[in-house]
């Protein structure tokens, strides 16, 4: 091939055009790689910021219920389903001991089968720092999610509200 290329005589305009095509192709490759490498982390940071705000707002919705002597799990679960439909968030309401008392992806009858959430990383961080976040795979829905949790306190911890958003679109 190199012997054929040496014998190939190109006019000056053809050489300029070929040079521009190579330069343009290289430029497109650099732009593509820059976007591919920088955009997903940026989007995850933006989703994290949005979820932190959403978690605080959702906490306000559940706060009065959680501060009662006996929170109504049926009402909390119904409300988590309604909010999830309106916001597109996955919402989990957790009792102070880690028991799930509301989950937007589960009917109330399934709540007793959900494992304790007290040791989840975002929950532990929220208990230490007043807000916590973590990214991990959800076995429940089979995709990676970004979770943000905030505690609900009266004089003591009365619950934790957690919101989550799938990261499927970013990972494509």
Q: Residue-wise over 48-77: b if at least 16 C-beta within 10 A, else e?
A: beebeebbeebbebbeebbeeeebebeebb
pLDDT band at 128 (very low <50, low <70, confident <90, very high): very high
Return the pLDDT at 152. Answer: 97
pLDDT(6) > 80: no
**Would you say 139 and 171 are in contact if contact means Cβ atoms under 8 Å apart?**
no
Instruction: Give CA 60 to chain center in angstroms.
Output: 20
Return the pLDDT at 10. Answer: 81
pLDDT(170) > 60: no
Report the predicted TM-score, pTM, of the whole model to 2 decimal places.
Answer: 0.77
Closest C-alpha among 143, 70, 132, 142 to residue 101: 70
**Would you say 131 and 122 are in contact if contact means Cβ atoms under 8 Å apart?**
no
């Amino acid at each position: 091939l190199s012997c054929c290329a040496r014998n190939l005589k190109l006019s000056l305009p053809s050489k300029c055009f070929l040079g521009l095509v190579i330069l343009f192709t290289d430029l497109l490759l650099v732009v593509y790689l820059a976007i591919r490498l920088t955009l997903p982390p940026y989007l995850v940071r933006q989703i994290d910021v949005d979820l932190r705000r959403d978690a605080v707002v959702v906490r306000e919705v559940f706060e009065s219920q959680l501060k009662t002597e006996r929170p109504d799990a049926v009402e909390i679960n119904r409300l988590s389903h309604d909010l999830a439909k309106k916001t597109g968030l996955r919402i989990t309401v957790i009792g102070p001991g880690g028991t799930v008392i509301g989950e937007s992806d589960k009917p109330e009858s399934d709540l007793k089968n959900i494992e304790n959430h007290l040791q989840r990383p975002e929950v532990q961080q929220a208990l230490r720092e007043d807000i916590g976040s973590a990214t991990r795979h959800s076995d429940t829905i089979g995709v990676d999610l970004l979770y943000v949790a905030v505690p609900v306190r009266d004089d003591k911890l009365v619950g934790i509200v957690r919101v989550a958003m799938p990261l499927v679109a970013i990972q494509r």
